[in-house]
Amino acid sequence: MAKQTSTYVCQQCGYVSPQFLGKCPECGTWSSLVEQITQTGSSFSNKLGKSISEPIKLSDIEKKAYDRVKSGIEEFDAVLGGGIVKGSVVLVAGDPGIGKSTLLSQLAINMSTDYSLQTTAKNKEAVVSSRKSVSSSVLYVAGEESPHQIKLRIERINPKSNFEILNETDVDAIIGTISSLKPSLVIVDSVQTLETGDLDSAPGSISQVRETAHRLQRLAKTLHIPIFLVGHVTKEGTVAGPRTLEHLVDVVLWLEGDPTNQFRILRSTKNRFGPTDEIGIFEMEESGMIEVKNPSRIFVEQKVNAPGSAVTVTVNGLRPLLIEIQALVTKTNSPIPRRVGTGVDSNRLMLLVAVLTKRLKLPLYDQDVFVNITGGLKITEPAADLAICMAILSSFKDLTLPPKSVFIGEVGLLGELRTVRNLEKRSSEAKKLGFNKVISSENAKTLDKALSLAIS
95 assigned binding-site residue: yes
98 assigned binding-site residue: yes
Q: Judge whether 261 lies within some domain.
A: yes
| Chain mean pLDDT for the chain | 85
Whether residues 226 and 337 fall in one domain: no
Domain end marker among 275, 293, 311: 293
Whether residues 285 and 310 fall in one domain: no
How does residue 133 score in pLDDT terms, banded at 50, 70 and 90? very low
Average pLDDT of 298-304?
82
Whether residues 289 and 304 fall in one domain: no
Whether residues 440 and 331 fall in one domain: yes
Domain end marker among 244, 274, 293: 293
DSSP assignment of 309-366 equals EEEEEEEETTEEEEEEEEEEEEE--SSS--EEEESB-HHHHHHHHHHHHHHS----TT
Q: Judge whether 57 lies within some domain.
A: no
- Put the strands of the sheet holding 288-291 in their side by side order: 164-166, 138-142, 185-189, 227-231, 89-94, 251-256, 263-271, 279-285, 288-291
Q: Judge whether 52 lies within some domain.
A: no
> Which tens digits make up the pLDDT trace of 191-212?
989 999 888 777 887 788 888 9
Domain end marker among 263, 293, 323: 293
CATH number of the structural domain spanning residue 208: 3.40.50.300
Whether residues 368 and 421 fall in one domain: yes
Whether residues 103 and 198 fall in one domain: yes
Whether residues 19 and 167 fall in one domain: no
Whether residues 156 and 286 fall in one domain: yes
> Which tens digits make up the pLDDT trace of 350-392?
999 999 999 999 999 999 999 999 887 888 899 999 999 999 9
Q: Judge whether 56 lies within some domain.
A: no
> Which tens digits make up the pLDDT trace of 384-395?
999 999 999 999
Structural domain harbouring 439: 297-455
97 assigned binding-site residue: yes
Whether residues 83 and 230 fall in one domain: yes
175 assigned binding-site residue: no
99 assigned binding-site residue: yes
Number of structural domains found in the chain = 3
Peptide bond into 17 cis (omega under 30): no
Whether residues 37 and 159 fall in one domain: no
What residues contact residue 384 under an 8 Å CB cut-off, 6+ apart?
312, 314, 323, 325, 344
94 assigned binding-site residue: yes
Element (H, E) at 209: helix 206-223
* 25-34, 43-52, 61-70, 145-154: least confident range: 43-52
Most confident by average pLDDT, 40-49, 88-97, 229-238: 88-97
Whether residues 214 and 180 fall in one domain: yes
